[in-house]
Amino acid sequence: MKLTLERKPFNEFWMNCMLNQAFSIAESAHSSYRFAAYLNIYSYFPWAAATDSEFRYPTIDSLYYLDDWTKFPLTGVIKLIEPGHFSNKETFTEEIKEVLRGGRNLSLNVDLYYWLPDSLAWKKFHWYHYSLFNGYDDERSSFYVIDDTLAGYFEYEVPEERLKKAFNNAEYNINTNYTGPAYYIYNLHPSIEPYELKISEVVENAERLARELEDFSMEGMWNVDTRQEKYSSHITYALIGINIICNRHIANVALIRTLQEQELLDENLCEALSERIEVIRDGWDEVKQAFVTHKFDRIREIERAEGLLSKEREFWRMLVDGA
């Protein structure tokens, strides 16, 4: 038997594993939820590397459901994201199939070291996250997942034996202090409410971002250790953070375009904002390229980043003043 749910990867830009899979489900259910992904509910954070807490790097995290589920813009599609545990770990693959046969997507905790070839972590380092299951094929003894590799965020086929290896070595199974679930199940509303982008929410978040960017500091960031045992992982972590920032500015470009197309903001203001956000997006791409090509200079890249953060602060102030 072969079963595939009608979910298409949301790969216009990258947020994080949980949000991209949630938006994949939501946009597949109703196309209007693409606009919800553009909403500027995010903050900059100084992050510590998972395997080296002394290495810090800037990144962005979305605030969709950190403190108030009612503010999550996908509540018109997703009724509940339900954590769960398998009744029998020996037959967990059959329980996954049962969930999928019920028309619901399941997101499983896996070790990326064993998960998808051509991903950042594959056979390099252990990193744990939740991967979205979209179907299975009994004849091929495989499952279909929506996930991220260097090739992009797409649907991939995973042999059952690799799935077992990745789950058995997941944080859920090897870390006795881990309090997260084995999986999450996405429960949808029987009828879908279309999403409406509201200028009031965009302005509210723009005001917050302008305040936060005033205080955000690059101090202590990107202190890459040139020793062989540290260098590669530090560059990887730095790029992960920068990549999320770059992707957020892809979303910001789309946000301004959508505000203009839906006539939610003055056309001349949108054109001026578009010019500014494209400069910011291109600037972060240059910072990213410096790390990709190993031609980065820490002082220079921090100065670049500080300048871009300042420009973004003025960008949001300009939006607020003109709304």
User: Taking the mean position of all CA atoms in its chain, how far away is CA 252?
Assistant: 15
| Triad 10, 28, 196: Cα angle to 5° | 90
pLDDT of 67 reads 64
pLDDT of 64 reads 67
What is the arithmetic mean of pLDDT over 164-189? 96
Instruction: Give the pTM.
Output: 0.90
How many whole angstroms separate alpha carbon 297 and alpha carbon 185? 44
* pLDDT tens string 188-240: 999 998 999 999 999 999 999 999 999 999 999 999 999 988 998 899 899 99
* pLDDT tens string 224-283: 999 988 998 899 899 999 999 999 999 999 999 999 999 999 999 999 999 999 999 999
| Triad 57, 60, 63: Cα angle to 5° | 140
Q: Give 289's contacts (C-beta < 8 A, 6+ positions apart).
A: none
pLDDT of 253 reads 98
- The domain spans of the chain are 2-31+78-188, 199-322
Q: Give 305's contacts (C-beta < 8 A, 6+ positions apart).
A: 58, 218, 221, 287
Split at pLDDT 50, 70, 90, the class of 65 is: low
pLDDT of 229 reads 83
Q: Give 148's contacts (C-beta < 8 A, 6+ positions apart).
A: 14, 17, 20, 119
Second CATH level (architecture) for the domain 2-31+78-188: Alpha-Beta Complex (3.90)
Burial per residue of 299-319, b for 16 or more beta-carbon CB atoms within 10 angstroms, e otherwise: eebbebbeebbeebbebbbbb
Of 243, 224, 240, 245, the C-alpha closest to 311 is 245
Burial per residue of 66-92, b for 16 or more beta-carbon CB atoms within 10 angstroms, e otherwise: eeeeeebbbbbbbeebeeeebeeeeeb
